[in-house]
């Protein structure tokens, strides 16, 4: 019998990664493509959906070639994606009708403020598990419908289709045959009832969204359609697994028991805890979200989101020219024993949980004549970790339990200096897996389950392996000093 392979498309904020995994879940091929970020004005962030699609097809071709996979050996394709990013495309041509509005975009801050002032916050929070913030898709979609000529009429007639990136990719992969999303992505729109797991008519009316443009909502592991006309990919390959990137990472980290948690360090930092079959409302400004649905079983999660993490390192590289590549930051930061009192708050796109201050902006405090680029590099890494202290403290309060450990993944999880400092300020063990691309692994596992290649969560547990554990080693007085400086700096953001 021929070997069978699963393809995982991990469509992220700054680029697309494609992994090809065999039946033992070993990576046989890998490819990555960046695409341009578009900043039309301060606070606005857009993507060209065609550039995203090109990054997907180019990565697919390269990864499949590297794995030397035959056309009849592909068992399934899984998708994981940047979540709240909002796309509208033409039903007939599949061409985008505007640039995608990215999850980091803050253009609807005034809309959210008005809805809060009108008293809608608690109703929205109770029904969706989310807060009224520009982060989510609902206000982005309403903005596009109101500001692109003719788009609202097309959406009302069902000629314009809305989706997060997963929906757009499935539409393209299937030649327009499928207009779907999964429960994890739907739960990030402000339009989805978390208890009923269905679109909500009252919320659609509140945000001015016609039901005709919404995708059907499916589970996270089933066949949504098959490939048709995709460059370099044979027709007929099932697309069989989908989850938003953070939920896919939670799955790929084998966090299947209530209380198990992970943090992904990507463009932003996202800390999720499995809360089991019942959604847990947050009292501390966290989000309640769907983790995944497989068959009739649903897992919910608490989530804390920091909008900027790895993007702060990119800013050092591209905005300031402090480093030439992101991989240089660890050695530069390690060349000094501490940050020299410099504190960097990575609020380049506002502050997310538990603060929810869309108007906040990044700040760097404590600069002296003796400050060097090494101090700045170290302060940036420490700022990424200190954000997560606020998230974990809120999560432990909401869950009523202290985490014994935290699993980590994403590109910056490979940074030993950052991981050790994270363990120190959180006061918990940080556990890094052998494969830090657990987001892509989660999508591959879901696709394998959906296509019948894998046996549920047993295979996910088998796939997960620990690579290194970081234990807290900083004395309590030093931790307290870091936290005091951090709290003071956040107040200035």
DSSP states of 393-424 as a string? HHHHHHHTS--SEEEEESGGGG-HHHHHHHHH
Q: Are 62 and 54 in contact (CB under 8 A)?
A: no
Is pLDDT above 90 for 143? yes
Question: Which CATH number fits the domain that encloses residue 238?
Answer: 3.30.420.40
355-378 tens-digit pLDDT: 878 788 899 999 999 999 999 999
20 within a domain of the structure (yes/no):
yes
490 within a domain of the structure (yes/no):
no
pLDDT (0 to 100) of residue 355 = 81
Task: Report yes or no on whether pTM surpasses 0.85.
Answer: yes
What is the domain range of residue 190?
Answer: 5-246
Mean pLDDT over 337-350 rounds to 90
pLDDT (0 to 100) of residue 374 = 93
Instruction: Grade residue 3 by pLDDT with cuts at 50, 70 and 90.
Output: low
Is pLDDT above 90 for 163? yes
- Give how many domains the chain has, as a whole number: 1
399 within a domain of the structure (yes/no):
no
Quote the percentage of the chain above a pLDDT of 70: 99
Tokens for 388, please give them.
């997560």
pLDDT (0 to 100) of residue 356 = 78
431 within a domain of the structure (yes/no):
no
The residue with greater pLDDT, 262 or 454, is 262
270-315 tens-digit pLDDT: 899 999 998 988 888 899 999 999 999 999 999 988 888 888 898 9
95 within a domain of the structure (yes/no):
yes
477 within a domain of the structure (yes/no):
no
Phi first, then psi, for residue 190 (nearest 5°) are 75, 10
14 within a domain of the structure (yes/no):
yes
88 within a domain of the structure (yes/no):
yes
Quote the percentage of the chain above a pLDDT of 90: 70
């Amino acid at each position: 019998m021929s070997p069978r392979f699963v393809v995982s498309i991990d469509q992220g904020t700054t680029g697309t990664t494609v992994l090809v995994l065999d039946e033992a879940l070993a990576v046989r091929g890998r490819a990555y493509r960046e695409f341009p970020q578009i900043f039309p004005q301060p606070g606005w962030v857009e993507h060209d959906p065609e550039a995203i699609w090109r990054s997907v097809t180019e990565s697919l071709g390269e990864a499949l070639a590297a794995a030397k996979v035959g056309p009849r050996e592909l068992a399934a394709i899984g998708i994981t994606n940047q979540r709240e990013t909002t796309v509208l495309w033409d039903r007939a041509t599949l061409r985008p009708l505007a640039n995608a509005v990215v999850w980091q975009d803050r253009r609807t801050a005034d809309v959210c403020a008005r809805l809060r002032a009108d008293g809608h916050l608690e109703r929205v929070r109770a029904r969706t598990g989310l807060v009224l913030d520009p982060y989510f898709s609902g206000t982005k979609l309403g903005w596009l419908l109101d500001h692109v000529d003719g788009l609202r009429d097309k959406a009302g007639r069902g000629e314009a289709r809305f989706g997060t990136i997963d929906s757009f990719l499935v539409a393209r992969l299937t030649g327009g045959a499928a207009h779907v999303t999964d429960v994890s992505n739907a739960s990030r729109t402000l339009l989805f009832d978390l208890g009923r797991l269905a679109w909500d008519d009252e919320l659609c009316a509140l945000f001015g969204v016609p039901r005709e443009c919404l995708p059907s909502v499916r589970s996270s592991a089933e066949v949504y359609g098959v490939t048709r006309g995709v460059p370099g990919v044979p027709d007929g390959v099932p697309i069989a697994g989908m989850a938003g990137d953070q939920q896919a990472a939670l799955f790929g980290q084998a966090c299947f028991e209530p209380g198990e948690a992970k943090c992904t360090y990507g463009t932003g930092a996202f800390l999720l805890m499995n809360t089991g079959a019942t959604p847990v409302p947050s009292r501390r400004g966290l989000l309640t979200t769907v983790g995944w649905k497989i068959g009739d079983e649903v897992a919910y999660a608490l989530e804390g989101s920091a909008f900027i993490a790895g993007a702060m390192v990119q800013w050092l590289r591209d905005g300031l020219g402090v480093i030439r590549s992101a991989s240089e930051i660890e050695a530069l930061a390690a060349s000094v024993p501490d940050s020299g009192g410099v504190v960097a708050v990575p609020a380049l796109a506002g502050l997310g949980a538990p603060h929810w201050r869309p108007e906040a902006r990044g700040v760097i405090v404590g600069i002296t004549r003796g400050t060097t680029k090494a101090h700045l590099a170290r302060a940036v890494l420490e700022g990424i970790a200190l954000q997560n202290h606020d998230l974990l403290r809120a999560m432990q309060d909401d869950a009523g339990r202290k985490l014994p450990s935290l699993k980590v993944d994403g590109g910056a999880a490979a940074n030993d200096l950052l991981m050790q400092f994270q363990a120190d300020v959180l006061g918990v063990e940080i556990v890094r897996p052998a494969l830090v691309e657990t987001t892509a692994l989660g999508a591959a596992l879901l696709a394998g389950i959906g296509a019948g290649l894998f046996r549920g969560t047993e295979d996910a547990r088998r796939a997960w392996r620990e690579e290194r554990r970081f234990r807290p080693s900083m004395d309590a007085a030093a931790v307290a000093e870091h936290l005091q400086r951090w709290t003071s700096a956040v107040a200035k953001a």
